[in-house]
Amino acid sequence: MRILITAGPTREPIDAVRFISNRSSGKMGIAIAEAAASAGHEVTLLLGPVMVHGSLHETMRVYRFGTSAELKQMLEAHFPDCDVLVMAAAVADYRVQQAATGKIKREAGRELTLRLQPTPDLVAAVASTKRPGQKVVAFALEEPAEMESRAVAKMKRKGVDAVVANPLGTMDDGYVTGLWLLANGGRAEPGRMSKPDFAAWLVGRLGDL
């Protein structure tokens, strides 16, 4: 299969040196890309501004993005040629309405107000352009108590074929307790696994689509 994978956070600029982002390390998405490439799939990885420890699989094509706008452009360029998109990137929900040019100067006693606007829903946008047979897998990071219900709602709202639901603690852990949910009602819960082991398990599940 030709698999397109996104990983890591976006950085939405406030000025020339500051940005809005999140704590995503990109480790889950990178692990999925490595597992898919090792399984013989043709992999394209769209990777955000994170550190990569060691070398990536030699057959993998890697493209770097910074902002959600850059990721949007890359998805538009690469999505039409893939069979499956695994959208593991943690796209910032908001960006500054108008980023400052240069560096905002700090002044004693002066408050700074930022006007934010929502970033585009990249998952829903690409899902709406799917050709027959093309599949989209999204990720949902949620509070454990409502993880499954919110993930199912997200899957329906965005029109994707499957969702990997994870508890919030996944961001700070080398392990994941993921839940695999399909639009046709299928589900699987493999239990707590290391991120590389879960990635290999997930790549094996892509055939369920």
Residue 150 to residue 144: CA distance in whole angstroms: 10
Residues 166-192: what's their mean pLDDT? Answer: 89
Question: What average pLDDT does this structure show over 147-160?
Answer: 95
- 77 phi, psi to nearest 5 deg: -80, -35
CA angle 129, 130, 131 (to 5 degrees): 115
Active site members? 22
Query: What structural domains and CATH numbers belong to the chain?
Result: 2-96+116-208 (3.40.50.10300)
For residue 132, pLDDT over 90 is answered with: yes
List Cβ neighbours of 153 (8 Å cut-off, separation of 6 or more): none
CA 97, 22, 62, 74 torsion-angle sign = negative
Can you name the residues that pair with 142 across neighbouring β-strands?
167
Name the band, by pLDDT with cuts 50, 70 and 90, for residue 43: very high
Question: Is it the case that residue 170 has pLDDT exceeding 80?
Answer: no
Confidence at residue 53, expressed as pLDDT on a 0 to 100 scale: 84
Distance in angstroms (rounded) separating the CA atoms of residues 83 and 163:
16
Predicted local distance difference test score (pLDDT) of residue 29: 96
Per-residue exposure over 113-139, b if at least 16 CB sit within 10 Å of its own CB, e if not: eeeeeebeebbeebbeebeeebbbbbb
- Looking from the CA of 56 toward its CB, the CA atoms found within 13 Å total 22
